[in-house]
């Protein structure tokens, strides 16, 4: 069982917390005695999740691609619960298929939600934390931040962007008491993964990633892969000749261009077309 010994009475804001990884993270933090606020594009789902979790959890509507909406969410949380100790970014969307079949609208939505949403969170939250001399921003990135993922080109670009952005800002914040962390899981059993392949890795459950978030809050680290061996494999293959490296990665990393099941993804992607947050 994963516990957080230093969570009691801390204020934890979880973005994309109505479902999946975010909801499981919220559950674990509430059980640890934290005061939790959930922000989600679906405000009603956020409110329902908060009510289900109890413990004084609050739910809020939040559009991460809108800076003003993000600022309003943070203001509301701090007004209700006090200064935010930990912010968890768990909102994300993904389209799967050949790069030249992806629409401009879908590409922009992935960049707006997955990348700009994280940038806004750091720009709005990190200065407040720096002024207090402490704080932690945990972002759910993806193994796609590190690995070549055919069929997920724009999604991978957004997650590479997240990882690069966090690496740069981390150096700007050194010595400030503010921690940044990137959690990079392989395929997780959520709506986003419908109709896709996991490759050589077993599919993860949302709680697997939530537990990694909890461990990272307990003991801050910058780069966390789930499963842990992904980070080791990435470091090893990157020192190999390109032909050898490419051969290994082709066996390990799923090719969603070939594997994607359009029918199985129809429900998720129809919502994606209408709703920028999937």
pTM across the whole model: 0.94
Q: Angle at CA 131, nearest 5°, toward 125 and 137? A: 35
Query: What pLDDT score does 201 carry?
Result: 87
pLDDT in tens, 196-240: 999 888 999 999 999 999 999 999 999 999 999 999 989 999 999
The answer for residues whose C-beta is within 8 angstroms of residue 18's C-beta and 6 or more apart is 38, 40, 42, 45, 46, 48, 49, 59
Collapsing DSSP states into helix, strand and coil, what is residue 11?
Answer: strand
Q: Please pick, among 155, 165, 229, 268, the residue that the annotation labels catalytic.
A: 155
Write out the H or E segment, with its range, that includes residue 224.
strand 223-226
pLDDT in tens, 164-197: 999 999 999 999 999 999 999 999 999 999 999 9
Tokens of 274: 């209408």
Quick one: which of 92, 109, 72 has its CA closest to 15?
Answer: 92
In whole numbers, what is the pLDDT of the chain averaged over residues? Answer: 94
Query: What pLDDT score does 229 carry?
Result: 92
pLDDT in tens, 32-83: 999 999 999 999 999 999 999 999 999 999 999 999 999 999 999 999 999 9
The answer to whether the CB of 179 falls within 8 A of the CB of 220 is yes
Residue 155: active-site member = yes
Is the CA virtual torsion 124, 126, 129, 130 positive or negative? negative
Query: What pLDDT score does 7 carry?
Result: 77
Query: What domains can be seen in the chain, in order of their start residue?
Result: 11-274 (3.40.50.720)
Chain position carrying tokens 């945990």 = 138
CA dist., res. 145 & res. 163, Å (int): 6
């Amino acid at each position: 069982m994963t516990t957080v010994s230093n969570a009691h009475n801390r204020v934890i804001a979880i973005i994309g917390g109505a479902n999946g990884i975010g909801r499981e993270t919220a559950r674990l933090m509430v059980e640890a005695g934290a005061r939790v606020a959930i922000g989600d594009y679906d405000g009603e789902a956020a409110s329902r999740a908060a009510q289900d979790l109890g413990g004084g959890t609050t739910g809020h509507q939040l559009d991460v691609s809108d800076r003003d909406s993000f600022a309003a969410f943070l203001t509301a949380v701090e007004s209700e619960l006090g200064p935010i100790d930990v912010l968890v970014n768990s909102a994300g969307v993904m389209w799967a298929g050949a790069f030249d079949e992806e629409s401009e609208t879908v590409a922009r939505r992935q960049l707006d939600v997955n990348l700009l949403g994280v940038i806004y969170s750091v720009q709005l939250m990190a200065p407040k934390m720096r002024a207090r001399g402490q704080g932690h921003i945990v972002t759910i990135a993806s193994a796609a931040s590190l690995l070549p993922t055919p069929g997920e080109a724009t999604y991978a670009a957004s997650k590479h962007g997240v990882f690069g952005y966090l690496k740069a800002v981390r150096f700007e914040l050194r010595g400030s008491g503010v921690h940044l962390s990137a959690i990079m899981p392989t395929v997780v059993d959520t709506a986003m993964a419908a109709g896709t392949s996991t490759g050589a890795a077993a599919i993860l459950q949302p709680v697997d990633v939530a537990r990694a978030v909890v461990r990272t809050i307990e003991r801050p680290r910058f780069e966390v892969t789930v499963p842990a061996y992904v980070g080791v494999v990435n470091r090893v293959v990157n020192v190999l000749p390109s032909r050898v490296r490419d051969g290994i990665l082709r066996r390990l990393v799923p090719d969603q261009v070939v594997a994607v099941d359009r029918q199985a993804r129809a429900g998720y992607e129809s919502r994606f077309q209408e709703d920028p947050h999937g």
